[in-house]
Amino acid sequence: MKQSLQLRLGQQITMTPQLQQAIRLLQLSTLDLQLEIQQALESNIMLEEVADENDYDDSEDYPTAESEPDKDFNLDSSVNEVDMDEPNANSADAEVADISEEMTLDNLTHIPDELAVDSNWEEIYDGTLSQYEYSNNSEDNGRDILATTQGTAAETLQDHLRWQLQLTPFSDLDRAIATAIIDAIDGDGYLRISIEEITQSLGENVQVDAEEVEAVLHRIQHFDPIGVGSRDLKECLLRQLEESAVATPWLKEAKILVNKHLELLGNHDYTQLSKRLKLTREQLREVIDLIQSLNPRPGAQLEPSQATYIVPDVFVKKASGQWKVELNPEIAPKLRINSHYASLITRVESSNESNSLKNHLQEARWFIKSLKSRHETLLKVAKCIVKRQMGFLEYGEEAMKPLVLHDIASELEMHESTISRVTTQKYLHTPRGIFELKYFFSSHVSTNSGGECSSTAIRALIKKLIAAENRARPLSDSKIANLLSERGINVARRTVAKYREAMVIPPSNERKRLA
């Protein structure tokens, strides 16, 4: 085969380190972004956080609602990128030279010994420190100061049951059995394992029969909360009914219903319940109200709940009749180049140290520029979404318009993958609540008039129809589809069922209630 040289001309996009960093920052959530910024501050001496807002020029590093993105740094740019695996030393030298012209060593090192203040410590805190002085009393010895200042941990269900176990007289063997039972109780207060498994968990050296384990379990079921340690819903409800006052109205009928006809109650078959219990509709309603007053998950009230807090990335509010969109200034600290360390590049004698400082300077500028690009892109996408979903902001979910990623990508001349990254785990604070940006995207359904209706709006209509239905005769999925068709929205019955299940709304037979 004959070898030859050929010259070809083509275009390609090179994923430079700067572009890779910008894409990675773009898809981070607020919490992950704060961790990334903290790691950058710890690893790069050229970066510093601006503590004083007066010393920070917001127009230089971060976008505002009126600013435009940097034209030479676009995540969706189709032009050729320069390979930036190695920092540009000439660019760094020029930047350092500009910095050096604006500062001298005297300006950097001259710090007054005492700063001018308008008050002294004694004028404000005179005589008040004594109440915070450390006491070395014997009662404080061995106390965990962190536990005192941070507060005690939330009490779990097992902690609450063990505390009652300590106050209850048990033999050593019964106490071991009770401990094994308490450890096997789940967060809802139910014992999900069998008596045989509890017996096996005690070990081969402990000789105990199932009757003794059952007796200890019966004592634990009378611990607070009542019904804890039950093995199913029937047992849980019966334990609570047994602890009710004898004079409680309809107590006997409620015990019979729970013990023998709980399945009929779950199926809302009130006709059969009335026949089996020989009660009128009004009397059956009283019995059911008594059962519904019980707690089917007795342990849930003691389980510590972990609240998840969402920090919105963008705020939207109405001012002077116009919807204004602005970034949350608290989502990320403001960063800048440390001028002192930047000025050292031209003064260090070692070439290795100089190159290291130049690399840090270039990486710091890349990082700040990537953050700026992230905020600009997020702001542009949020403004575009708000412009298209003003009906939702004004009137609610029923006015939501169909919207897909392609619509925003076409308007902003970006790729759909970029829009997907921007809208994932990013939240918009509106007068109607906090929503993820992806919430505003939904498919469409055709209407009789030739228009389109958002699936989110259809869900809102279904929820509204179910909320207004007759509880004695709830609407079926077919009936809901017919009602939507009368409003010009063509939705199949299976589509209604899919939307209803997505909203965790039970079917019509489970929504049925006594009139």
pLDDT tens digits, one per residue of 424-473: 999 999 999 999 999 999 887 777 776 778 888 999 999 999 999 988 88
pLDDT over threshold 60, residue 247: yes
- Which of 9-13, 58-62, 171-175, 198-202 is the least confident region? 58-62
Q: Which of 61-70, 73-82, 397-406 ranks highest by mean pLDDT?
A: 397-406
On whether residue 459 sits in a domain, the answer given is yes
Question: How high is the pLDDT of residue 54?
Answer: 58
Query: Within 10 Å of residue 512's Cβ, how many Cβ atoms?
Result: 18
Question: How high is the pLDDT of residue 66?
Answer: 40
Please, which pLDDT band fits residue 57 given cuts at 50, 70 and 90?
A: low
Sign of CA dihedral 11, 17, 22, 26: positive
pLDDT over threshold 60, residue 83: no
On whether residue 75 sits in a domain, the answer given is no
Say if residue 368 is in the same domain as residue 482: no
Count the domains in the chain.
3
- Which of 91-100, 355-364, 494-503 is the least confident region? 91-100
Higher pLDDT, 463 or 16: 463
Residue 258 structure tokens: 């729970």
Question: How high is the pLDDT of residue 233?
Answer: 94
Whole-model pTM: value is 0.65
Residue 57 structure tokens: 């020029």
Q: Residue with structure tokens 């200034």?
A: 329
pLDDT tens digits, one per residue of 308-337: 788 899 999 999 889 999 999 888 778 899
Residue 101 structure tokens: 């012209």
Question: How high is the pLDDT of residue 142?
Answer: 46
**CATH number assigned to the domain comprising residue 479:** 1.10.10.60
Question: 3-state class of 452 per DSSP?
Answer: strand
Percent of the chain predicted with pLDDT > 70: 78
Instruction: Select from 440, 464, 495 the last residue of a domain.
Output: 440
Cα–Cα distance measured from residue 396 to residue 136, given in angstroms and rounded to the nearest whole number: 61
Query: Can you give the residue range of the structural domain that contains 190?
Result: 157-292
**251 close to 244: Cβ distance less than 8 angstroms:** yes
Higher pLDDT, 296 or 449: 296
Mean pLDDT calculated for residue range 218-247: 92
pLDDT over threshold 90, residue 185: yes
**276 close to 261: Cβ distance less than 8 angstroms:** yes
On whether residue 81 sits in a domain, the answer given is no
On whether residue 491 sits in a domain, the answer given is yes
Helices (H), 389-413: 390-395, 405-412
Say if residue 459 is in the same domain as residue 419: no
Mean pLDDT calculated for residue range 90-111: 43
Higher pLDDT, 52 or 318: 318
Please, which pLDDT band fits residue 202 given cuts at 50, 70 and 90?
A: confident
Backbone angles phi, psi at 384, to 5 degrees: -65, -40
pLDDT over threshold 50, residue 11: yes
Helices (H), 267-338: 270-277, 281-292
Question: How high is the pLDDT of residue 252?
Answer: 93
Say if residue 258 is in the same domain as residue 179: yes
Say if residue 434 is in the same domain as residue 479: no
Query: Within 10 Å of residue 180's Cβ, how many Cβ atoms?
Result: 20
pLDDT over threshold 80, residue 231: yes
Question: How high is the pLDDT of residue 208?
Answer: 84
E-assigned strand segments in 427-504: 427-430, 433-436, 444-446, 452-454
Say if residue 162 is in the same domain as residue 287: yes
According to DSSP, the β-strands at 433-436 and 427-430 are antiparallel
Cα–Cα distance measured from residue 403 to residue 254, given in angstroms and rounded to the nearest whole number: 51
Residue 238 CB burial class (10 angstroms; 0-12, 13-18, ≥19): buried
Say if residue 186 is in the same domain as residue 267: yes
Cα–Cα distance measured from residue 16 to residue 174, given in angstroms and rounded to the nearest whole number: 69
Question: How high is the pLDDT of residue 146?
Answer: 40
On whether residue 123 sits in a domain, the answer given is no
Say if residue 235 is in the same domain as residue 322: no
- The type of residue at 374 is R
Question: How high is the pLDDT of residue 494?
Answer: 93
**178 close to 163: Cβ distance less than 8 angstroms:** no
Question: How high is the pLDDT of residue 183?
Answer: 92
Higher pLDDT, 329 or 79: 329
On whether residue 220 sits in a domain, the answer given is yes
Q: Residue with structure tokens 């000789």?
A: 207
Mean pLDDT calculated for residue range 368-387: 94
Please, which pLDDT band fits residue 1 given cuts at 50, 70 and 90?
A: low
Say if residue 411 is in the same domain as residue 470: no
Mean pLDDT calculated for residue range 490-512: 90
User: CA nearest 186: which of 147, 230, 149, 223?
Assistant: 230
Question: How high is the pLDDT of residue 162?
Answer: 93
Question: How high is the pLDDT of residue 304?
Answer: 65
On whether residue 367 sits in a domain, the answer given is yes
Cα–Cα distance measured from residue 113 to residue 185, given in angstroms and rounded to the nearest whole number: 64
Please, which pLDDT band fits residue 124 given cuts at 50, 70 and 90?
A: very low
On whether residue 120 sits in a domain, the answer given is no
Say if residue 93 is in the same domain as residue 22: yes
Say if residue 246 is in the same domain as residue 164: yes
Instruction: Select from 243, 260, 292 the last residue of a domain.
Output: 292
Question: How high is the pLDDT of residue 248?
Answer: 93
Instruction: Select from 387, 415, 440 the last residue of a domain.
Output: 440
Cα–Cα distance measured from residue 276 to residue 256, given in angstroms and rounded to the nearest whole number: 10
The mean pLDDT value of the chain amounts to: 80
Say if residue 218 is in the same domain as residue 272: yes
Say if residue 339 is in the same domain as residue 411: yes
Percent of the chain predicted with pLDDT > 90: 48
